[in-house]
Amino acid sequence: MRKDGIATREKILDGARDLVLKLGYSGMKVDHVLEHVGITKGAFFHHFKTKDELAKALLRRYASEDALIYAETRAQAEKLSDDPLQQILIFIRLFEDMFSEMTEPYPGCLLASYVYELQQFDDETRSLLHETFARWRTLLQEKFTLIIERYPPKNPVSASQLADGFTVVLEGAFILAKAMNDARMATEQLRLYRNYIELLFAAPEQMRAAA
Amino acid sequence: MRKDGIATREKILDGARDLVLKLGYSGMKVDHVLEHVGITKGAFFHHFKTKDELAKALLRRYASEDALIYAETRAQAEKLSDDPLQQILIFIRLFEDMFSEMTEPYPGCLLASYVYELQQFDDETRSLLHETFARWRTLLQEKFTLIIERYPPKNPVSASQLADGFTVVLEGAFILAKAMNDARMATEQLRLYRNYIELLFAAPEQMRAAA
DNA sequence: ATATTTCCGGACCGTTTGGTCTGTTTAGTG
DNA sequence: CACTAAACAGACCAAACGGTCCGGAAATAT
């Protein structure tokens, strides 16, 4: 086995992510990572000065990976329709499809894992969490702003609340999926969320049942 | 200060709950509890053989406390209306009111905290988590079953999914509330969930904007 | 009043844990 | 090939941690 610095660094990050989602950050000990990845202390602390530095790197990596998925899915939705409402509905459905193929519960969201140990982390990490969630909000908020202008909602709602709703449903579904060991939870709850958007903005005349 | 066994035991449980919600279970060290509660190791391990036993006691306590709140709120809703749909809507609104008075984000759900460290716990604790969430589902599922029979939903939905939706929104809102430091998150997202139920079951003619 | 049990303080202990240090191997470079 | 720097292995360490133990104080029973 050849020595490849960036490769082992990636392996550490991947392994640590898996373990954090299973055990929480404090529950994940560095020795666990060493065993899981198949390296030694020397290798680990060569790539990360401290465990907390790994935590930050993990967070940044997850946030950027996730931003990529969001951006790609959004681009895909925008390619399939010019209407902002349809774009959102497609966007949600694409996420449904992502989770529908899974056979076991989604391992969870790293950010949520951090949130429930929030006081463990320093200000930098906390603001990084804040910014990431804020970015997710902004992404969908823009669409919902357009939608609200074009289609009068049946209830008084704000674009930011609807945008947060997506994240809320996802995060909540992840928790219930793990607790109930139900892999379909995320797909089902996203479908309910999509139904809500449909009902909220659909013209009273043309209300039709969704597939 | 007099010696009161059950009182200190309660103080330990209360303090531990606060700390778990801030630091996670693994992040909460027993020394933290000792300092936070103002006792010593002797007192702690007199009431709890191990830290894991505290974890289980904590879980049982939280689950029963929560079951009480659910039952009371449900009873209150049933007192205010005979119609299952109205009962659910009142039920949700009562929860909205509970969180609306808070000035800082709800500290979170202990069960969710456990879920993100699930592999830390033994089978007994895990099944306890499972049962508790299942109980919450059943509670609302009964109502939604009646509602679906009486009012044709505009989309094909199952009672259990709608019931899970409530928990999903709550759990997701707690996470976002902490991450964004927004105390109104839970209230706002519950309102969206209530709007969804209204739109889903409202007769097309009598659809009116909610307050 | 005495005995007994519960409750608790705090020193102590073995293990775990994050992190260090030294030496060795591998990859790149002239 | 010689040299350098990055990439590791693994023994080692100090602090933190969960848990034990025993003495004593406070409540309760007799």
Residue B176 pLDDT greater than 60, yes or no: yes
In a domain, A56, yes or no: yes
Cα gap B184→A162, rounded to integer Å:
14
3-state secondary structure of A80: helix
Give the CA A56 to C1' C16 distance in Å: 24
Tell me which chain B residue has its CA closest to the CA of residue A29: B26
In a domain, A208, yes or no: no
- The pLDDT assigned to B6 comes to 87
In a domain, A36, yes or no: yes
A121 secondary structure, DSSP code: S
- Tens of pLDDT, residue by residue over A148-186, are 999 999 999 999 999 999 999 999 999 999 999 999 999
Number of domains into which chain A is organized: 2
Cα gap B12→A157, rounded to integer Å:
42
Burial of B67 (0-12, 13-18, 19+ CB in 10 A): middle
Q: Are residues A24 and A60 in the same domain?
A: no
Residue A54 pLDDT greater than 50, yes or no: yes
Taking CB atoms and an 8 Å limit, are B116 and A113 in contact across chains?
yes
Cα gap B154→A154, rounded to integer Å:
15
In a domain, A32, yes or no: yes
A25 secondary structure, DSSP code: T
Give the CA A108 to C1' C28 distance in Å: 40
Cα gap A31→A39, rounded to integer Å:
10
Cα gap A62→A111, rounded to integer Å:
8
Q: Are residues A163 and A80 in the same domain?
A: yes
In a domain, B80, yes or no: yes
Q: Are residues A132 and A150 in the same domain?
A: yes
- Residue A88's identity, in one-letter code, is I
Q: Are residues A66 and A16 in the same domain?
A: no
In a domain, B207, yes or no: no
Angle at B178 between CA A109 and CA B164, to 5 degrees: 60
Residue A112 pLDDT greater than 90, yes or no: yes
> Mean pLDDT of all residues in chain A?
93
What is the domain range of residue B39? 1-48
Of the residues B48, B65, B82, the one at which a domain ends: B48
Q: Are residues A161 and A75 in the same domain?
A: yes
Which spans in chain B are helix H? Answer: 5-23, 30-37, 41-47, 51-80, 84-100, 110-115, 123-150, 159-180, 185-201
Cα gap A2→A13, rounded to integer Å:
19
- The pLDDT assigned to A207 comes to 47
Q: Which of B126, B175, B194, B208 to mutate to test the interface with A (most CBs of A within 10 A)?
A: B175
Q: Are residues B77 and B66 in the same domain?
A: yes
Q: Are residues A89 and A25 in the same domain?
A: no
In a domain, B209, yes or no: no
Rg (CA), chain A: 20
Cβ of A42 < 7 Å from strand D? yes
Q: Are residues B55 and B84 in the same domain?
A: yes
- The pLDDT assigned to A2 comes to 63
In a domain, B142, yes or no: yes
- Residue B66's identity, in one-letter code, is D
- pLDDT band for position A205 (50/70/90)? low
Q: Are residues A121 and A181 in the same domain?
A: yes
- The pLDDT assigned to A5 comes to 72
Mean pLDDT in residue range B5-15:
93
**Percentage with pLDDT > 70 across chain B:** 95
> Mean pLDDT of all residues in chain B?
93
CATH code of residue B17: 1.10.10
Cα gap A73→A86, rounded to integer Å:
13
Residue A125 pLDDT greater than 60, yes or no: yes
Q: Are residues A44 and A31 in the same domain?
A: yes
Phi, psi torsion values for B9, nearest 5 degrees: -60, -40
Give the CA A10 to C1' D25 distance in Å: 58
- The pLDDT assigned to B202 comes to 86
Q: Are residues B67 and B144 in the same domain?
A: yes
Phi, psi torsion values for B96, nearest 5 degrees: -55, -45
CATH code of residue B92: 1.10.357.10
